[in-house]
Every structure is written in structure tokens, then in C-alpha cells.
Amino acid sequence: MADIGTIPLWQFQIATAIGLLGIWMGWQGGMRRMVGFYDLPSATKSLLYGMVLGGLYQVMVSQSILRPLWIGTIPSLWLLLLVPLSISLVTMLILTRHSIRQLKGQPTSGWAFGLGLGAMLVVRITFEIFSFPEGVSWIHGFGLSSLLLGFGLALIVPWSEAIICSWQGWNALEGRRFKPAFKAMLLRIMLILLLAYGVVYPPIIFIIPVFIYGGQKLADTKWLPAGLSPRMKQEWTRLQRTGLSTGVRSVTPTKYEEE
């Protein structure tokens, strides 16, 4: 049984940079097609909320689930359920705020919130990988293999969380709150377990892109455009066909009322 150690400050800074890179990659993966059709201030605020709450979430996930699994013990079943459920309920709370409901921006704000949440989780997992002593995983310490694994996590974890949160936002837009939160809990449990074992046996991580592929198709065609007015949805469809894009603008409640 091995204890997880600590790392120098400069390695932690690299782990943080890798996690933040995941925000950019996940934004390009989902919100790129919605350029011009979402409220930028709300999305930015949701991203910041995700990063703040993600800082708490990654500590709870690491301490109560990941570390016990990595050192060969069984995590508490209650914590395995409670930690993902708590963040799923908080996600619903964030996405049902009046300012977001006014603009029907739950799916896009959910995407941004999930990116912040996932990025902080990547920072923590990358930190743990850098601090692994021999015996925990064949990828351990600071080196090329751990950096590559960190970049791989930055690509898939924020993107996965963005898909989950956007799906929650779409359900909130449709008037469903608590049942989707429990389903999101199950999705997060699966994601956490795949990451826990995938860090030790990296081929397991290749299961996650399959989930991303299916979720991205639904996000592009159903969830993210769901909050658009009929007129804006027609314009969005036209721009998707022509391959054009517009500048990001802030959509106000008045514009929705006019349309």
C-alpha cells in the first residue's frame, strides 16, 4: 500500500495549465457551433461557478473515491453516491437561476459550467499522477507519459462534464429537475470509476470518447439549440448549412420577447 505524495510548485502549475487547456478544447468541441446564439455573460459566469465549485468537487472526489481505489481499499458506498449526487443537485440549482431561465440559456450555461467543473477535476487528477510513487501505476511521477496522460484527460474530462451538465440544462429547460439530477449522478459515478481505473490502466480511458461522441451529437442537434426562439433557430440552421458563423453577442430578454 503506497501513499500519494506531494509535488513541487512548478509541477502543480503545469497540472493547472493542463486542466485549463481542457476548457478551451471543450469549448471548441461544443460551443463553437453556437457562436452568436448564446448569452456570453451568462456562459462566462457559469464557467466561473464551475471552476469554483469544481475546486471543492475535485477534493471530495479525490479524497473519498479516487485515493482509496488507488491504494487498494474500497471507498464508502455512501460517499460514492453522495458526492456525485451533491454536484448534480448543485448543477440544477445553478442552471435554474432566474437570470438563466429568462434567457432560456440552461443548456449553453450548463456546457460552460461543466467545462469549469471538469477542468478542476483534471487539475487534481494530473496532480495526483505527478505525485504517484512507484507501485500505484505504471505511469507515475513527472515525465512524458504522465504529461501525455494529463493532456488526454484534459481533452475528455471537461468535455464529458460539459455534456452531462448541458443535458441537465436541457432537462431544466423542459421543466424536469430532480429525476435528471439522479441520472446525472449515475453518469458521474461511471465517469469517476472509469477515470480511477483508467489512470492505472490507461486503455480503459478509451471508453469515454464513445460516450462523448454520442453526447456531442445530441448536444449539437437537440440540447444546445433548444433555448433558441423559432426565428433564431431558423437562422442557426441556415448558418449550419452554409458553414458561416457570427460574432458572439449578448442576448437580452427583450430580444426573446420581440421574437
Please list, in sequence order, all residues whose beta carbon lies within 8 angstroms of the beta carbon of residue 256, skipping any fewer than 6 positions away.
Answer: 102, 103, 104, 229
Query: Is pLDDT of 31 > 80?
Result: no
1 belongs to a structural domain: no
Q: Mind listing the pLDDT tens digit for each residue in 62-115?
A: 999 998 988 888 888 999 999 999 999 999 999 998 888 887 888 889 999 999
* Structural domain count of the chain: 1
Share of the chain above pLDDT 90, in %: 44
Reported pTM: 0.86
- The grid cell for 138 is 505504471
Please list, in sequence order, all residues whose beta carbon lies within 8 angstroms of the beta carbon of residue 127, skipping any fewer than 6 positions away.
Answer: 7, 11, 12, 15
Placement of cell 481505473 in the chain: 197
3 belongs to a structural domain: no
Contact, 110 vs 160, CB < 8 A?
A: no
4 belongs to a structural domain: no
Q: Mind listing the pLDDT tens digit for each residue in 201-246?
A: 888 999 999 999 999 989 888 888 877 766 777 776 676 666 555 4
More confident residue, 132 or 35: 132
Q: What is 206-231 written as a DSSP string? A: GGHHHHHHHHHHHIIIIIGGGGS-HH
Q: What is the mean pLDDT of residues 177-191?
A: 93
Q: What is the mean pLDDT of residues 11-20?
A: 91
Range of the domain at 121: 9-258
Q: What is the mean pLDDT of the chain?
A: 83
In our burial notation (b when 16+ CB lie closer than 10 A, e otherwise), range 50-86 reads: bbebbeebbebbbebbbbbbbeeeebeeeebeebbbb
68 belongs to a structural domain: yes
Query: Among candidates 217, 209, 213, 216, which has minimal Cα distance to 156?
Result: 209
pLDDT at 255: 45
107 belongs to a structural domain: yes
Amino acid letter, 127: F
More confident residue, 152 or 250: 152
142 belongs to a structural domain: yes
2 belongs to a structural domain: no
Residue 93 CB neighbour total at 10 angstroms:
12
pLDDT at 185: 95
109 belongs to a structural domain: yes
State how far the Cα of 237 lies from the Cα of 190, in Å rounded to an integer: 34
Q: What is the mean pLDDT of residues 152-160?
A: 94
Write the DSSP symbol of residue 20.
H
